[in-house]
């Protein structure tokens, strides 16, 4: 589990103590340093640095860009995976219904060179900083996200494909001192508006996060997904093995999924602060990250005067 918030520094603190004690035991005067000009051997262990808050209130920065495709993707083997799977007998009784829906291969959707369904998010520039967001701001963000068709945390299965195919959630935020993390209250709604049943399984690596059976005509299920900005959640259906979708649950409100033209825009980003941007696509190599710095992020600083443009290139893994 990777995060850029409190527990990273808490985890480092004992190591710092051990290091200081070890150095103390070696004897001999210590070398004068900026923090210890006299080179005193009885150096006190410094308390952990306070976290540096990056307030998001009234922030007006804009980060936008496009994800484009480079090269060809040889996909004939799995092309039309849905039709093939149904023809091969995977739950054949649902075949007619399944084939009414979208049967294109959702893994790579490109329009005029732009790649849909890449996920982009912005995090603080180093592990000692955190986005300062109070509960009222979180509630407002979660409410706005739920009211917007592009960001609402609802995974439906109207035919035999997840809709949307890729979804991003904002599920954790830091306490006022940046040392703890709280749930935002944003949950994933797993719906089934189909005339057939689905059984939705959510996994992150080897961890199963949910396994919900949703017969036709039943109410949606609500699932809480812990934030993790290093590993994607995979959605599958136990009834229709060809169904696959992806969900990112992150601890930053600055997250977006590229539209059908490959574009994204993230508003309200703090300006003149050291930040990092991450970009993921399911066909990206190395965990799917297609930005410099991979899951650690690429350094960016957004100016106050104009939007910062960051573009990414997907070279699809074959
Ligand atoms: Cu299904």
Written as tens digits, the pLDDT of the chain (318 aa) is 444 443 333 333 333 333 333 333 333 334 444 444 444 445 567 777 788 999 999 999 999 999 999 988 876 555 566 666 666 565 667 877 887 776 678 899 999 999 999 999 999 999 999 999 999 999 999 999 999 999 999 999 998 899 999 999 999 999 999 999 999 999 999 999 998 999 999 999 999 999 999 999 999 999 999 999 889 999 999 888 888 999 999 999 999 999 999 999 999 999 999 999 999 999 998 899 999 999 999 999 999 999 999 999 999 987
Same domain, 105 and 241: yes
Q: How far is the CA of 278 from the centre of ligand 1 (A)?
A: 31
Say if 226 falls within a structural domain. yes
Q: How far is the CA of 287 from the centre of ligand 1 (A)?
A: 26
Say if 1 falls within a structural domain. no
Say if 17 falls within a structural domain. yes
Q: How far is the CA of 95 from the centre of ligand 1 (A)?
A: 11
Same domain, 41 and 117: no
Same domain, 40 and 68: no
CB–CB of 160/239 below 8 Å?
no
Show the DSSP H helices in 47-105 as ranges.
81-87, 95-100
Same domain, 41 and 150: no
Ion ligand 1: residue ranges with CB closer than 5 A: 198, 237, 239-240, 243
Give the residue numbers spanning the domain of 149: 53-314
Q: How far is the CA of 197 from the centre of ligand 1 (A)?
A: 6
Same domain, 43 and 183: no
Can you read off the two tokens belonging to residue 161?
């494909």
Quote the pLDDT of residue 283. 95
Which has the closest alpha carbon to 148: 256, 276, 42?
Answer: 256
Strand partners, 208: 203
Same domain, 38 and 129: no
Same domain, 42 and 90: no
Q: What's the rounded Cα separation, in Å, for the pair 285 and 317?
A: 6
Same domain, 38 and 57: no
Q: How far is the CA of 266 from the centre of ligand 1 (A)?
A: 32
CB–CB of 314/70 below 8 Å?
yes
Q: Is 277 helix (H, G, I), strand (E, B) or coil?
A: strand
Please state the domain count of the chain: 2
Say if 109 falls within a structural domain. yes
Q: How far is the CA of 81 from the centre of ligand 1 (A)?
A: 14
Same domain, 283 and 183: yes
């Amino acid at each position: 589990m990777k995060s850029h918030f409190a527990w990273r520094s808490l985890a480092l603190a004992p190591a710092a103590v051990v290091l200081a004690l070890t150095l103390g035991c070696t004897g001999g005067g210590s070398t004068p340093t900026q923090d210890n000009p006299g080179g005193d051997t009885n150096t006190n262990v410094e308390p952990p640095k306070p976290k540096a808050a990056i307030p998001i209130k009234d922030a007006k920065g804009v980060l936008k860009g496009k994800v484009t495709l480079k090269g060809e993707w040889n996909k004939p083997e799995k092309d039309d995976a849905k039709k093939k799977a149904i023809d091969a007998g995977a739950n054949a009784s649902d075949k007619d219904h399944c084939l009414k829906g979208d049967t294109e291969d959702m893994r790579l959707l490109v329009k005029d060179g732009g790649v849909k369904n890449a996920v982009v998010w912005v995090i603080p520039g180093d592990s000692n900083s955190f986005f300062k967001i109070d509960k009222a701001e979180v509630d407002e963000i979660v409410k706005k996200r739920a009211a917007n068709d592009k960001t609402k945390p609802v995974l439906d299965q109207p035919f035999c494909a997840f809709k949307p195919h890729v979804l991003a959630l904002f599920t954790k935020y830091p306490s006022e001192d940046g040392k703890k993390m709280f749930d935002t209250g944003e949950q994933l709604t797993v719906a089934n508006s189909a005339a057939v049943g689905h059984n939705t399984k959510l996994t992150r690596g080897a961890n199963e996060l949910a396994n919900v059976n949703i017969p036709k005509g039943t109410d949606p299920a609500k699932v809480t997904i812990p934030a993790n900005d290093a590993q994607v959640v995979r959605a599958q259906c136990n009834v229709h093995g060809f169904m696959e979708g992806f969900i990112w649950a992150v601890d930053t409100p600055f997250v977006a999924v590229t539209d059908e033209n490959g574009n994204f825009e993230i508003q309200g980003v703090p300006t003149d602060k050291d930040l990092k941007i991450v970009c993921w696509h399911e066909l990206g190599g190395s965990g799917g990250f297609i930005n410099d710095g991979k899951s650690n992020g690429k350094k960016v600083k957004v100016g106050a005067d104009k939007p910062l443009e960051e573009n990414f290139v997907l070279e699809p893994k074959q």
